[in-house]
Chains A and B, each alone.
Chain A
Amino acid sequence: KQEVTQIPAALSVPEGENLVLNCSFTDSAIYNLQWFRQDPGKGLTSLLLIQSSQREQTSGRLNASLDKSSGRSTLYIAASQPGDSATYLCAVLDNFNKFYFGSGTKLNVKP
């Protein structure tokens, strides 16, 4: 069964720092990997989607990479801002169209 792990569980950084969030998965047979942002008590907002044939995707200050063979993805956030404070979740889609979610990294960016 697919297992998705996110490290660290929590991260606190000063404003302006560049940071990396990690996501690993046990089964490399995936169709895509998606990064989400979740604010407390709110829904999940899609940030980036990487298809299994792709190596990375970029949107503004966010860059996500995917190494399917090693079962790893990273989300890079450049020049972090207090508004980036949220929980970040990664999810992989398997061959049966099922999503598997990590437990998230809770990010706090201090002004």
Chain B
Amino acid sequence: EAQVTQNPRYLITVTGKKLTVTCSQNMNHEYMSWYRQDPGLGLRQIYYSMNVEVTDKGDVPEGYKVSRKEKRNFPLILESPSPNQTSLYFCASSPPRGAAFFGQGTRLTVV
């Protein structure tokens, strides 16, 4: 089954404790991206990757890092999480100029 898998689905952490949210897709898509969704602000792009070893900032990249060492994986790293990074996070993948597929989301709470 074609899918984008994120882990964990839910995470509560403390300020400053590094964390990684994993994202994996099985569709051999070149393009992957991370979004955060907040009430009243909609979906905002954090980082995206056009292919292996090619990543770039989206609209709200501050406080986040990503890497793309393999085509299927695109982890999101929060080196020092802060409460304003409490949000619902989505990973997505797509072929060039094609439909986007989304993961089920990761609800992150930073206390």
Contacts and interface: CB of A to CB of B under 8 A. Distances in A.
B107 A103 contact: no
Contacts of A89: 43
Interface stretch (A39-47, A68-76, A78-86): A39-47
Contact of A97 (B31, B42, B88, B101): B31
A103 B102 contact: no
Interface string B74-111: 00000000000000101010101111111111010000
- Tell me what chain A mostly uses at the interface: helix, strand, loop, or mixed: strand
Nearest to B97: A31
A41 to B, nearest CB: 7
B34 interface: no
Contact of A43 (B48, B94, B96, B105): B105
Interface in A24-57: 31-32, 34, 36, 41-46, 49
A98 interface: yes
Interface of A: 31-32, 34, 36, 41-46, 49, 89, 91, 93, 97-99, 101-104
